[in-house]
């Protein structure tokens, strides 16, 4: 009898742990996204295709800055990714940091410390 009571007492604990793990999983951003980027120098609408495995992102940027492979992470609703572009013969890192909310994301971007801006994105 005592063993049965202990077993039933563990059910709420196990259920709570299962729900907590489900909430902690990163949202899936795999697929194509249309970005709108605004900087002090102008705006652009690149397309970024993400491939996500767990919290790890890979993919490809295609837009006004050219085409480049990217790497990054998704942790909870936070997303961060970067790629490198060629600016007048020099390599410059481009970094995006933001948040994901379903089929939308928003945040900031930085091009080699020379130019900053904001972005929004929608899943295609």
Task: Evaluate whether residue 117 is within a structural domain.
Answer: yes
CATH number at residue 60: 2.40.128.120
Task: Evaluate whether residue 118 is within a structural domain.
Answer: yes
Total domains in the chain come to: 1
**pTM of the predicted protein model:** 0.79
Encode pLDDT of 40-71 as tens digits.
899 999 999 999 999 999 999 999 989 999 99
Task: Evaluate whether residue 9 is within a structural domain.
Answer: no
**Rounded Cα distance, 83 and 108, in Å:** 14
Ranking 60-64, 65-69, 85-89, 102-106 by mean pLDDT, the lowest is 85-89
**Phi then psi for 4, rounded to 5 degrees?**
-65, -45
* Residue 89 tokens, joined: 């013969």
Q: Look up the domain containing 68 and give its range.
A: 25-123
Task: Evaluate whether residue 31 is within a structural domain.
Answer: yes
Computed over every residue of the chain, the mean pLDDT equals 87
Q: Of the candidates 51, 89, 87, which has an alpha carbon nearest to the alpha carbon of residue 70?
A: 51
Task: Evaluate whether residue 2 is within a structural domain.
Answer: no
């Amino acid at each position: 009898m005592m063993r049965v009571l202990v077993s039933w007492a563990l059910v709420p604990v196990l259920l709570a742990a299962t729900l907590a793990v489900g909430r902690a999983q990163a949202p899936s951003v795999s697929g194509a996204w249309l970005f709108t980027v605004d900087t002090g120098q102008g705006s652009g609408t690149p397309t970024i295709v993400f491939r996500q495995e767990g919290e790890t992102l890979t993919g490809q940027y295609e837009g006004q800055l050219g085409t480049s492979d990217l790497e990054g992470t998704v942790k909870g609703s936070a997303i961060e990714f970067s790629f490198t572009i060629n600016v007048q013969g020099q390599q410059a890192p481009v970094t995006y940091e933001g948040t994901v909310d379903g089929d939308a994301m928003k945040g900031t971007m930085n091009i080699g410390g020379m130019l900053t801006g904001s972005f929004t994105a929608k899943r295609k």
